[in-house]
Amino acid sequence: MRSYRPRCSPWFVLGRTLFIGQRRVRPGAVGRRPGPGVRRWEGWAGVPACGCILVVATFLALVIPPSAQGQLPGDPEVTTSIRSLGLGGALPLADRDPDLLFGNPALVERARGSGVALVRPAPGDRRVSMAAATGWWGGGAALGVRVLDGLGNHPSQGMGGEAGPGGVGRTTLGTVTAGYARTVMGVHAGASVTGVEARRGDERDAVATVDLGVAVDLGVVTLGVSGGGLGPSLEFVPSEPEGMERLNARWVRAAFGTPSTALGPLDVAAAGSFTVREGYRPRAGIGVEVGWWPVAGRTFVGRAGLESGRPADSSPWSAGGAFLGDSFTLEYALRPRVDGGWVHGVGVRFR
């Protein structure tokens, strides 16, 4: 039988001191409450860690300035998932989303189901992703596909990525990722291999990269560290003499996530991350989601997040929502742009 883990309320960051026991429930989406007879955990180990992590993540999200000059020509703005977009770019490490393959392959072990997502960061730009995960060979395996059309704000591109005065057209990036993870001595460890192909006008390049990740369950919080883009550079020469533009920048991410916790009629969960990408300013994001289930098997979820270190034309705030049915989840997220536009994302997941 799968073991149960204690849950922690994100309200610790507000200074609330909880002396009551926390219910042990299976890891899962917000809105899945434990059934009758669920065991309880009466200790409160891990409370300081949970609160400190939330405080640090919030502080970093507030103080890191927007991305400005001195960076690479354009940030690909690749969102891990629709859920992550609504949570300020944070990864929900304590859950089972198959999209975690793109953020930390160590969580592939307990990821289940499949999903597809579409993000429209700007007029004419599209990000489409598909991912599926299942148990395999004593651990878990996942497969994901992403197509990024109009990648980045290249100096020669307009808002929609059309060819500009420099004559360089829009960039299209396609990736196929396969990952595997399992638990070794209490530590979730995983790796993934990604085949990447990029096209821009008459230019074309293809490489293979590796992502690595580890994660641990420390009492009431899941902590994870991952890194990726390990491999040859996928580069194009910009229209202006600014050197090479690397599209598959190497990255390192530290993240945390808490399972959903029952607070009266609501379920609350939190997530945060700190990401460093080669050639870009660091990013820190934190998000909270609140679920309400008026009827068993029908849960409505609201999400809000804050992420700093983003490009100057993008707002640090994001929001989203979801509807959880018996076997599927419908999701939506949005982020305002400085020019008055919006970043929209919609997705569906099947458990």
pLDDT of residue 121: 83
pLDDT of residue 182: 95
pLDDT of residue 172: 85
Element (H, E) at 67: none
| 3-state DSSP assignment of residue 78 | coil
Cα distance between residue 165 and residue 176, in whole Å: 32
Confidence band of 194 (pLDDT split at 50, 70, 90): very high
Tens digits of residue pLDDT in 304-328: 999 987 777 778 899 999 999 988 9
Contact 237, 154 (CB under 8 A): no
What's this model's pTM, rounded to 2 decimal places?
0.75
| 3-state DSSP assignment of residue 116 | strand
| Better-scored residue on pLDDT, 184 or 312 | 184
What value does the mean pLDDT take over residues 182-195? 95
| 3-state DSSP assignment of residue 12 | helix
Confidence band of 37 (pLDDT split at 50, 70, 90): very low
Tens digits of residue pLDDT in 158-172: 323 333 333 346 778
Contact 274, 283 (CB under 8 A): yes
Most confident by average pLDDT, 22-36, 178-192, 224-238: 178-192
Q: Is 118 exposed, middle or buried (0-12, 13-18, 19+ CB in 10 A)?
A: middle
Class of the CATH-defined domain 5-350: mainly beta
Cα distance between residue 1 and residue 70, in whole Å: 53
Over the chain, what is the mean pLDDT? 75
What value does the mean pLDDT take over residues 339-347? 90
Going from the C-alpha of 204 to that of each of 127, 176, 239, the distances in angstroms are 19, 16, 16
CB burial of 329-340 (b: ≥16 within 10 Å; e: otherwise) equals: bebbbbbeeeee
Residue 124, pLDDT > 90, answer: no
Which of these ranges, 236-245, 281-290, 338-347, has the smallest mean pLDDT?
Answer: 236-245
| Better-scored residue on pLDDT, 86 or 51 | 86
| Better-scored residue on pLDDT, 43 or 90 | 90
Confidence band of 240 (pLDDT split at 50, 70, 90): very low
| Better-scored residue on pLDDT, 2 or 50 | 50
Domain ranges of the chain: 5-350
The β-bridge relationship of strands 298-308 and 317-324 is antiparallel
The tokens describing 109, both together, are 């072990």
| 3-state DSSP assignment of residue 52 | helix
87: nearest Cα among 6, 153, 10? 10
Tens digits of residue pLDDT in 91-121: 889 889 999 999 999 999 999 999 999 998 8
